[in-house]
Structure 1
């Protein structure tokens, strides 16, 4: 099995890896699989990660007194979950807003499956 590091808390997530059989014509075996995800929007390239086997989008933002924060988006039980920073205030630049919009769009497509 292949492991990939996760930026959130040092947890690892499994990746799909096929094992090639020694016998010609035999089928490969998939050892672990992640859920099917929609094609990546270029705006989410730096914000989409696996944390503990869960696909998570973390969009950097600030709060009202300019401290660095993040808005987190993930899918759970077919629903999109958005977690705001502490204090429930997120100040986003237009670029960060585009990232959040793209993350919500990808999460909505994933939740529909």
Structure 2
């Protein structure tokens, strides 16, 4: 599946696009359109955005030797994906943990649709 931005009525959303292999031009067919979930938790306002047309949450954190890193959350094929810093440990403050918890809650709601 490929996710893309949809701007309708001034409100950003996502559209699910499935490509049929072997179809003429392999243009793909939009099979469903749904608005982006409303930001219900102010903690995700600074971490929630679109990258390459896909909604992602990127929560800043540190590693064990205080280098800046990030934990990324996104939804793919109805499942929540959590990406930690590569080969690293994520050290989160209580505020960052709150952001991650809120991001996971929003992603879970989006995955249920």
For these two proteins, the number of residue pairs brought into alignment is 88
| Alpha-carbon RMSD | 1.8
TM-score in terms of structure 1 length: 0.71
Counterpart-to-counterpart distance in 2, 1:44 and 1:104 = 10
Name the CA shift for 1:76/1:49 in 2 (closer, same or farther; >3 Å).
Answer: same
Q: CA deviation at 1:17?
A: 3.7
Which whole-Å deviations, capped at 9, do the CAs of 1:70-91 have from their partners, x for residues lacking one? 0000000000000000223100
Computing the radius of gyration from Cα coordinates, the structure with the larger value is 1
Match of 1:37 in 2: 36
TM-score, normalised on structure 2?
0.71
Corresponding position of 1:76: 76
Whole-Å separation in 2 of the counterparts to 1:101 and 1:92: 11
Please state which structure has a larger fraction of its residues in strand. Answer: 2
Aligned to 1:60: 60
Contact 2:5 2:54 in 1 (8 A): no
CA contact (8 A) 2:13 2:36 kept: no
Describe the shift of the 1:64–1:107 C-alpha distance in structure 2 as closer, same or farther (beyond 3 A).
same
Please, which runs of 5 or more residues in structure 2 have no aligned partner? Answer: 15-33
